[in-house]
Structure 1
Amino acid sequence: MSTPRQHVTASGGSGAAPGPHAGSPHDPVPLWNIANILTVGRIALVPVFLVLLFVGDGHDTVWRLAATGVFAIAAITDRIDGQLARKHGLVTDFGKLADPIADKALIGAALVGLSLLGDLSWWVTGIIAARELGITALRFAVLRHAVIPASRGGKLKTLVQTLAIGVYLLPLPDSVAPVAIGLMILAVALTVVTGLDYVVQAIRLRTGVRRSETVRAEDGPADDVAAQDTPDDGRTVGEDAR
């Protein structure tokens, strides 16, 4: 009598219970799991944050603190949903795409809001927004080949952006301005560097797909069938993915 095999979970551990494999056509993970619900909830908080930010002239201390609080809650859910997805095997392709999109929506709304209020230079918002929109478009462009999840560098970039924006949002004295400016400069630098890294990943992915298609076309149907039976563990580009 055969014994059940252990399966490797999405977080890398093994256990007796079958762990979901992200991107598998037989993925048993439900779409509306707690991690994805938190991600969607983060997107829903974006308009709430903007309304609070623009109450009055946008510089009232009470409303500014309220907007900062909503921004902080939304940012915290980014940390929580990723941990839940990896720990409990709730990784889905939807989560891999929706999570960075939720991050971009929150960060982008905050940057545009601060620029409209005159608290942040538009060139900062322009550079970050161009990078985020470009990478999002790149993700969708390569979606039919594989999913490019958020890398560790991308997560660090998001963290620094969040901290910098948080300092700008808080009604702090002018003496703190150098700290806010320094954090924002670091955020812009990380934004550009990680953006270039994603472009390199996408190029490598497309090159690998083209080579694979060429080899299969040359080798014939037999090798094509064998390739279909072989798990493709390299379809997900990046580390620490959700």
Structure 2
Amino acid sequence: MTAPEPDAVVSRVNLANALTVMRLALVPVFVVLMFTGGGHATVWRVAAFVAYAVAAVTDQIDGYVARSRRIVTDFGIILDPIADKALTGAALVSLSLLGDLPWLVTIVVAVRETGVTFLRLWVIRHGVMAASRGGKLKTLLLNCAIGLYVLPLEGTAASARAVILAAGVLVAAVTGLDYVGRALALRRRGTSVTEGLLEDSDAG
């Protein structure tokens, strides 16, 4: 959820945060539905798809609600990416455990997500790395692909979801490298500013 600087007087109890909490709460519901009936019963997979789709939709609207209503909070900024990664991670691991998705895909995405989170923490003293357009595209592609993999599809539909997934993984890898470059640039900029301030202090 990309958002402007939060207002300290805004209550944590608001619609945007409620949507984010709902997304996080849907994660265990989705996992249970995925493995009910042996993991491949059509009715339960469709139910799991509905849970995933509802959670994915909240990811697209909670940020907009927070910005448009000026109800951005630190709580929401912290919880939103946690909910996103929990949902995506749970879905990928579940699909891999059920044999519907190669573990390589799950590992690549997990490494990318963990790495970006680490980079954001690494540069937090120097600036905030907001989600890029590529990052948002990655999320959209992966959400679409994962949702389609949850459904028991065959034939052309199954081939189409594989193409969407491949595009999502490719964008994930490329944007991951972009985040590395942005993080290094922020660190260099922050170090240069700090050194300049020290030199001014010494000169004074």
Q: TM (normalized to structure 2)?
A: 0.91
SS class of match (2:37): coil
How far apart, CA to CA, are the structure 2 residues paired with 1:109 and 1:34? 24
**Count of residues in Structure 1 that have an aligned counterpart in Structure 2:** 203
What amino acid is the match of 2:94?
G
Structure 2 residue aligned with 1:211: 192
Find out whether 1:118 has 2:104 as its counterpart: no
Q: What is the match of residue 22 of structure 1?
A: 5
Provide the identity percentage.
53
1:103 aligned onto 2:79: no
SS at match of 1:54: helix
| CA–CA separation in structure 1 for the residues paired with 2:77 and 2:202 | 33
The residue aligned with 1:164 is 145
Aligned pair partner of 1:146 in 99, 111, 127: 127
Q: Which amino acid aligns with 2:145?
A: A
5+ residue gaps, structure 2: none
* Structure 2 counterpart SS, 1:39: helix
Give the drift of 1:221: 9.0
Distance 2:189 2:137 in 1: 27
How far residue 222 of structure 1 moved from its aligned partner, in angstroms, is 11
TM alignment of 1:84-99, pairs within 5 A: 84-99=65-80
Amino acid at match of 1:195: G
Structure 1 equivalent of residue 171 of structure 2: 190
TM-score, normalisation: structure 1:
0.77
Compare 147-156 and 163-172 and name the one that shifted more: 147-156
Change (3 A) 1:198 1:92: farther
Unaligned runs of 5+ in 1: 1-9, 12-20, 224-242
The letter for the 2-side match of 1:80 is I
**How far, CA to CA, are the matches of 1:199 and 1:32 in structure 2?**
35
* 8 Å CA contact retained: 1:135, 1:198: yes
Question: Aligned letter for 1:197?
Answer: D
Residue identity in the other structure for 1:41: M
RMSD over equivalenced CA pairs, Å: 2.2
Aligned in 2, Cα 1:85/1:222: closer, same or farther, shift over 3 Å?
farther
**Relative contact order: is structure 1 or structure 2 higher (C-alpha 8 Å, sep ≥ 6)?**
2
